[in-house]
Chain A
Amino acid sequence: MCSADTFPQVACAVGVLSNDFIAPSVFALRVSREPHVPSPKSGQFFMLRSRPSGVLLGRPISVYRADDTSITFLVLKKGQGTAELCALRTGDALDIVGPIGNSFQTPAELSAQGLFSQALLTGITPRALAEPGIAVIGGGIGVAPVAGFSLFLEPKTFDFYASFRSTPYGLDGLEERASKLIITTEDGSAGVKGMLPAVFDAAKYDLVYACGPTPMLRYIKEECARVTANKHGVNGSRVTTDANGVNDSNDPSRGTLAFLSLEQHMACGAGACLGCTVPTVNGNRRCCVDGPVFNAAEVIL
């Protein structure tokens, strides 16, 4: 990935095209995209601030959908900044800075960009990269960037997991595109009652893409690491490879490579303030422009 692309390229006001209530405290905010605003890549985000605003800073909000003339965000009302965004009406203005950050890479992009050697370290075989088992996981409002990314995956090549406290949202079209759409809710109002661990088995997958609350991401990181360690020995030495391995969890050649989109409090969204750094095995990285997508094996959660 070209690092320069991760820095924001515009800071300007844009108009609200629509702002629809889609679930309790969640709004789909669609804004106009003028030609000077670069088209965001899946996984990127913008700093958004209502105009006028009673808060000091923009709020980092992931892109859900983008087309030639608009960008759609899912906004969860949490504090004053997001409450202002949720209250915006058609024709109102807001300030945006972006697009910011790296992006989710499709399996084809991963191998094209030489992540193959890195993948070997985490246990992915050539066979797995050619026909990987893919899980896409969204938790709560974290569903937005991964649902957006799933549009760039071949239909019916991935399972989509979506975990919510209550009412699901942000899953438009996934019933058709995903091989399986698995929903959990903590209150049992939809799908399986419970949280992600009730339905997710990392051993079934080669590639995982996820965004959600930190405890969920930590669980995914640990599960993927455990699966990889089981297959490759505690010292990381490869136990065995099986070029003809079938696509199930007994394949001894399998490990699970996971990419996690992280969220942090941010001030600048431009890599300047160092307020959003996350610790990794390679030292501190800026969540905004070095992320927000990190290899789970590298980030320390």
Chain B
Amino acid sequence: MSADLSITIAGVRFANPVIAASGTFGYGTEYSRIINVVRLGGICSKGLTLGAKSGNTGTRLHETPSGLINSIGLENPGIPHFIEHELKTMLGLGPVVLANLSGSTMETYVEGAALLDATDVPMIELNISCPNVKAGGMAWGLDCDAAGTITAAVRKATKKPLVVKLSPNAPHLVDVARSVVASGADALSLVNTFQSFAVDIERGRPVFDNVTAGLAGPAIRPIALRMLRDIILGVSECASYSVPVIGLGGIATWRDAVEFIMTGASAVQVGTASFANPHAMEEIIDGLESFMRRKGYSSIKEMRGIALVVK
């Protein structure tokens, strides 16, 4: 029997549920000589801001057991540059392109959204969860009123399908998710990185100039999975899949992807895993397909959420 890996999120069809996470896959072409990029379900762009950003100074990467702390700080050439120089090539690669929209003030988010709205990009991922910038970013995603306000403002600025990427650092994540859904999000993606801290013991100082930074990789996966479960069970639109959730956080193998889908994710994003193994996403797609055949699942929907047993 054949397994159909295709999915639809907010009216946009993906050939399979495996999407390259923002900030880990450049603009899609960087890996094109190593892997068959056309096979991917989707690609999220690097986090984009209205104006160019040079990112953070000092050390930007710090490996921990099964984890990677990053403090890139949204280095990007700005949305106008992205539209002029990167987007066309990215759209030509084949997978669904999600433009990851970040910002500082509400005005910069709205103006960025309006610029992207005028392009052919099929989907926008609203990033209110970057922990590595001083202004804006995650600040919008920690509080449910702020998250709702920024979502509603961006919603007004674009008719594109809107995925809102949530921060695991929000004290009341389910409330944030509800607020974002009520303000017009078509889908959610979670989780962005976890706030963390590391010390350079030789210098007796923080490793990072920006002091705290975001932890990703397999170390966060079980926590990300629990948060996905909280959202699916706690937000009625997510439970009914009328607002689908894209799960991410340390996914490195097809088994991990199956866990997220069985916990209610309609799709998954893969980030850190691609660094050590550029073939990770291809292997996940292949592994998903053979698992579905073996288990007799004809579609992603058939196994989506089956592990959500309420105690």
Contacts and interface: CB of A to CB of B under 8 A. Distances in A.
Interface size class of chain A, counting residues whose CB lies under 8 Å from the partner chain: 20 to 34
Nearest to A5: B33
Contacts of B26: 270-273
Contact of B34 (A4, A10, A81, A267): A10
B30 interface: yes
Interface in B46-68: 46, 54-55, 57, 59-63, 66-68
Interface in A66-122: 81, 95, 97
Given A11-B279, A267-B275, A283-B54, A272 B63 contact: no
A295 B205 CA distance: 31
A284 B77 CA distance: 11
Nearest to B20: A272
B30 A265 contact: no
A268 interface: yes
Contacts, number: 95
Contacts of A284: 54-55, 75
Which of B54, B63, B277 has the most chain A CB atoms closer than 10 A to its own CB?
Answer: B63
B44 to A, nearest CB: 12
B33 A8 contact: yes
Given A11-B278, A56-B218, A277 B60 contact: yes
A97 B59 CA distance: 23
A271 B34 CA distance: 13
Interface string B195-222: 0000000000000000000000110000
Nearest to A284: B54
Interface string A259-293: 00000011111111111110100011000010000
B30 A272 contact: yes
Which of B34, B70, B217 has the most chain A CB atoms closer than 10 A to its own CB?
Answer: B34
B72 A274 contact: yes
A168 interface: no
B24 interface: yes
B1 interface: no
A7 interface: yes
Interface of B: 23-26, 30-31, 33-35, 46, 54-55, 57, 59-63, 66-68, 70, 72, 75, 217-218, 272, 274-279
Interface of A: 4, 7-11, 47, 49, 55-58, 81, 95, 97, 265-277, 279, 283-284, 289
A-B pairs, top 8 by smallest CB distance, nearest first, are A272-B26, A275-B61, A11-B278, A272-B30, A267-B275, A265-B61, A268-B275, A275-B60
15 contacts: A8-B278, A11-B278, A55-B63, A56-B275, A265-B60, A265-B62, A267-B61, A268-B24, A268-B274, A268-B275, A270-B30, A272-B24, A272-B274, A275-B60, A275-B61
